[in-house]
């Protein structure tokens, strides 16, 4: 059986892992597609994607020289999407922000990955590791794809047939090969569907390459731009996407299917409550905070990094300021 040593099903469930896979493929299958994307300047303002770290994405050994294999995990946040849908807040925040007890997933998942690694080290002699979680120069969707966890949707999300795309990809890069069977590669299951292309209000999805034009993406505007900026054309005033954007995932039939399987009650989220109020009231509250107070207020959440100025920029647009 393809069992992951002492990482018990309960431990995985507590860590919100719904699927995992093992791979010895250290090079991405789509590195050239990534280079073409950069050549077309589709990274827009996200310079870290096009600088010298470009080379590092070529092989996992570039960030962990001893690397021989990787364990790739899908961390599930479908229930937070369900919570947000049920509460139907007046202002929309990306569901991953509340998926991990309102904490910034980088901290929450990092703890889990470190915990997994420590447990594995008890079973496997001389095991060393490095983790990859979003900020590392690793093409993580490709890593999950070549591990067999899903396919690249037209909206460029890594989609699992069973769990959809409301997942965060977190990996352990290992200095040894393990006695585990790799999964087979997933095939394309988008078929003739074009729902995400039709739904994206800013036409940010480039169908031919299954990638995003970052300059046009609402998520770039609301998460990555820390100063005043002009929103991408088409950014819909009625949608109140105040942080991140889930639109191209909300319309995906694979997510509709995956969400139906999630049961449970609506979870408390102070972030959802905070944003589920009159926008003017939120704006004036945030405006009165100093930068430091903003950071303290949102400490440990996904909103801290954006800063007060960046957040006010998102809200201003809807208030016509």
Q: Which does residue 234 touch among ligand SF4, ligand B12, none (CB within 5 to 8 A, set by kind)? A: none
Q: Is residue 311 within the footprint of ligand B12 (CB under 6 A)? A: no
CA angle 258, 141, 247 (to 5 degrees): 50
Residue 221 contacts ligand B12 per CB under 6 A:
no
Question: What is the secondary structure of 10-25 as a DSSP string?
Answer: HHHHHTTEEEEEEE--
CA distances 300 to 72, 223, 296, Å, are 24, 15, 9
Smaller CB separation from ligand B12, 15 or 212:
212
The answer to whether the Cα torsion of 10, 135, 267, 264 is positive or negative is negative
* Position 134 contacts ligand B12 (CB under 6 A): yes
| φ, ψ at 235 (rounded to 5°) | -55, 110
18 binds ligand B12 (CB under 6 A): no
* Helices vs strands, H then E, count in the chain: 13, 10
Residue with token string 């100093």: 290
For residues 272 to 301, the per-residue mask of contacts with ligand B12, x marking binding by CB under 6 A and - elsewhere, is ------------------------------
Exactly one of 194, 256, 260, 284 binds ligand SF4 (CB under 6 A); which one?
A: 194
Whether the Cβ atoms of residue 119 and residue 165 lie closer than 8 Å to each other: no
Q: Find out whether 75 and 16 touch, Cβ atoms under 8 Å.
A: yes
162: tokens are: 């069973």
21 touching ligand B12, by CB under 6 A: no
Q: Does 46 bind ligand B12 (CB under 6 A)?
A: yes
**Contact flag: residue 212 with ligand SF4 (CB under 6 A):** yes
Q: Which of 19, 104, 142, 186 binds ligand B12 (CB under 6 A)?
A: 142
Rg (CA), the chain: 20
CB of 205 to ligand SF4, least distance (A): 5
d(CA 134, CA 137): 8
Residue with tokens 């979870």: 267
Q: Is 134 a catalytic residue?
A: yes
| Window 248-287: contact mask with ligand SF4 (x via CB under 6 A) | x--xxxx---------------------------------
Q: What are phi and psi of 320, to 5 degrees?
A: 60, 35
Looking at 205-213, 267-275, 294-302, 311-319, which segment touches ligand B12 (CB under 6 A)? 205-213
Does residue 167 bind ligand SF4 (CB under 6 A)?
Answer: no
Q: Which does 21 bind (CB under 5 to 8 A by kind): ligand B12, ligand SF4, none?
A: none
Task: Find residue 160's DSSP bridge partners.
Answer: 164
77 binds ligand B12 (CB under 6 A): no
| Contact positions vs ligand B12 (CB under 6 A) | 28, 30, 33-34, 37, 46, 49, 94, 96, 133-134, 136, 138-142, 152, 155-158, 165, 167-169, 209-212, 214, 217, 219-220, 223-224, 244-246, 248
């Amino acid at each position: 059986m393809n069992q992951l040593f002492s990482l018990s099903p309960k431990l995985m469930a507590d860590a919100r892992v719904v699927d995992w896979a093992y791979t010895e493929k250290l090079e991405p299958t789509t590195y050239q597609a990534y280079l073409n994307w950069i050549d077309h300047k589709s990274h827009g303002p996200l310079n870290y994607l096009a600088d010298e770290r470009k080379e590092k994405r070529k092989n996992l050994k570039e960030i962990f020289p001893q690397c021989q294999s990787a364990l790739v995990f899908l961390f599930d946040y479908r229930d937070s999407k369900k919570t947000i849908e049920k509460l139907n807040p007046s202002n929309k925040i990306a569901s991953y922000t509340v998926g991990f007890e309102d904490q910034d997933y980088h901290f929450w998942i990092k703890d889990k990955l470190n915990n997994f690694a420590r447990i594995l080290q008890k079973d496997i002699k001389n095991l060393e590791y490095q983790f990859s979680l979003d900020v590392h120069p690793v093409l993580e969707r490709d890593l999950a794809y070549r591990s067999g966890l899903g396919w690249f949707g037209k909206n460029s999300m890594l989609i699992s047939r069973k769990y959809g795309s409301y997942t965060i990809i977190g990996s352990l890069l290992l200095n040894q090969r393990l006695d585990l069977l790799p999964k087979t590669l997933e095939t394309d299951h988008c078929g003739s569907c074009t729902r995400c292309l039709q739904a994206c209000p800013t036409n940010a999805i480039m169908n031919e390459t299954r990638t995003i034009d970052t300059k046009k993406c609402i998520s770039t505007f609301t998460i990555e731009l820390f100063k005043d900026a002009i929103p991408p054309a088409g950014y819909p005033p009625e949608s109140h996407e105040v942080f991140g954007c889930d639109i191209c995932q909300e319309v995906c039939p694979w997510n509709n299917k995956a969400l139906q399987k999630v049961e449970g009650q609506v979870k408390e989220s102070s972030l959802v409550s905070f944003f589920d109020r009159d926008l003017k009231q939120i704006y004036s509250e945030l405006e009165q905070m100093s930068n430091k107070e903003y950071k303290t207020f949102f400490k440990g959440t996904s909103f801290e990094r954006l800063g007060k100025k960046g957040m006010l920029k998102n809200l201003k647009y809807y208030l016509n300021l």
